[in-house]
Structure 1
Amino acid sequence: MAELVKNPAVQEKLYDEIKTTCGDGEVSEEAVHSMPYLKAVILEGLRKHPPGHFVLPHKAAEDMDVGGYLIPKGETVNFMVAEMGRDGEEWDRPMEFVPERFLEGGDGVGVDMTGTKGIRLMPFGVGPRICARLSIAMLHLEYFVANMVREFEWKEVPGDEVDFAEKREFTTVMKKPLRPRLVPRN
């Protein structure tokens, strides 16, 4: 939501998609499945701000070469999830919030969050230890964001600017919590 506050053009484009899809009706579970820009906004948020900077460590089951590095059998490997999403060799303009990268023609098209086709984005882990509730988590994120944008225009409060500095608690959270000005749309 902080990114939508800082990027009003993205928020407006998302609102337009919600209004086009749902009209004056409520956002339904079925409706969120037919909103590609909403999904792109969620994926971009997870790429830039994953809930955890690390996933559970993995042990190499056998000697393996990963990007030119030998990982000996039995060694522990940690995946830097946040760094993966901010890697300039993988992502064009990695520090910018650009949901369009997950739409046709973008550098994030076809990203597979399960890790079966390569790993570029893994906010829910990958492989046998992937979050078992990935699909319900995505549905909840899409439904929550769609409803919050449908009901309110999210604005920055002058003098209380959005600060993306992070701190680690159980998950990674904003050091200074978001305090937007919410303007009812209806």
Structure 2
Amino acid sequence: MSHVTAVCRVDQLLRDAGTIGITAIDKRPVVGPVRVRPLGLHADVQADRKHHGGEDQAVYAYADEDAAYFAEALERDVPPGLFGENLRTSGVDVTGAVTGERWRIGETLELEVTIPRVPCGTFARRMGIPGWVKRFAAENRPGAYLRVLHIGPVAAGDPVVVTHRPEHGVTIGEISAGPSAERARAVLDSGDRLAPTVVRDLAKVLARGRV
């Protein structure tokens, strides 16, 4: 059964060499349910709010299966929260999730898949691996951001059920790798309600005329 294996939120703010000077990437598992509101998990924060957070990036999910891949490739543990994720999942094809797909978690929480995670310098500094941004992007196991459609609690062990999957079929992995103009148009013309971030990013693809 698809389920949440860990719920993570910021443990402490850390000094960072980036322009902000601090980072909230240090997410760690918590015990018990956590309330999820439109801007994310209760008591979680983002230090760089220009590039992180907001309603379209309220929750970041990463799959146990993708974490296990990196753990083997890097020959080190990849515990929940290391990548800055809020939810670690099992049995959920996060990279294969369709943008606009909806997840029901537990009894009341409903989330909508929006965009893939784009690795940044803060992430690279946290990992301490040369060339990490390029390597993470090349593996195309980005994890997914989600927006909150219906608020509610989330806890480790909660089931994850896909309640809606748009017919256009364009996945998080496809967007991360760079969709063609044709595939971007399929999403924009689908008639599905789209998060503003999705509309913006796919409109840029059309403007570039990628094929």
**TM-score normalised by length of structure 1:** 0.25
**TM-score normalised by length of structure 2:** 0.23
Greater fraction of residues in strand? 2
In our comparison, the structure showing a higher alpha carbon Rg is 1
